[in-house]
Amino acid sequence: EARLTALAATIFEAQTEVDLYFAHPARDFAQTDEALRIRRKGPSNFITYKGPKIDKATKTRGEIDLPLSSGPLSSGPLSSGPQSAEAWIGLLEALGFRPVGEVRKSRRKVAIPWQDRCVEGSLDEVERLGRYAELELVVPAEGIESAKACIASLADELGLTDSERRSYLELLLER
């Protein structure tokens, strides 16, 4: 954290995130390097599809992340709160998806000014795994190479030398 503070990074309060991952009924996401999850973060829910990683060195991949809330509604599948997550889990299970694992973590988001960009970081305490740091830039396809160089430079500056490409779910399932 001292190195982040020295870089004038903004460190936000910790928030609990619970991710429930699903297996596809017709293809093996472990083989195709894809993921589908429902995330519960505070009172909000999100559904995320992660495509295959696109290189051998980083976790760079396409993602579709959609909120599962609609503000003023107090119940039903588009509202926030635990009932919304349960409704979406029921929908996915009715379509043949099945839960394969849950990841629980305390996450502190970080905004890091670096090379005229704002790098998004996360300081994670993952149940049954330990502490991890993530660095991320969201860029269009043509900006991937410069984003990777920026992230690598910042990781070096922060002393983050051990890169881990496996997801938290993969690490937990390997235990």
Q: What is the pLDDT of residue 83?
A: 65
Q: Could you confirm whether 21 is annotated as catalytic?
A: yes
48-68 as b/e: b if 16+ CB within 10 A: eebeebeeeebebeeeeeeeb
Those residues of the chain that have pLDDT short of 70 are 69-83
**Pick from 66, 51, 18, 78: which is nearest to 141 by CA?**
51
C-alpha distances out from residue 159 to 108, 154, 163, Å: 18, 9, 11
Report domain extents, the chain: 2-174
- Determine which one of 21, 49, 132, 168 is catalytic: 21
Q: What is the pLDDT of residue 131?
A: 97
Query: What's the pTM?
Result: 0.85
Q: What is the pLDDT of residue 87?
A: 86
Q: What is the pLDDT of residue 133?
A: 96
CA distance 79 to 56: 39
Q: What is the pLDDT of residue 44?
A: 85
The count of other CB atoms within 10 Å of the CB of residue 101 is 16
* DSSP assignment of 62-81: EEEEEE---SS--SSTTSSS
Strands 98-114 and 61-67: unpaired
Pick the CATH number of 2-174 from 3.30.2350.10, 2.40.320.10, 3.90.170.10, 3.50.50.60: 2.40.320.10
Q: What is the pLDDT of residue 56?
A: 73
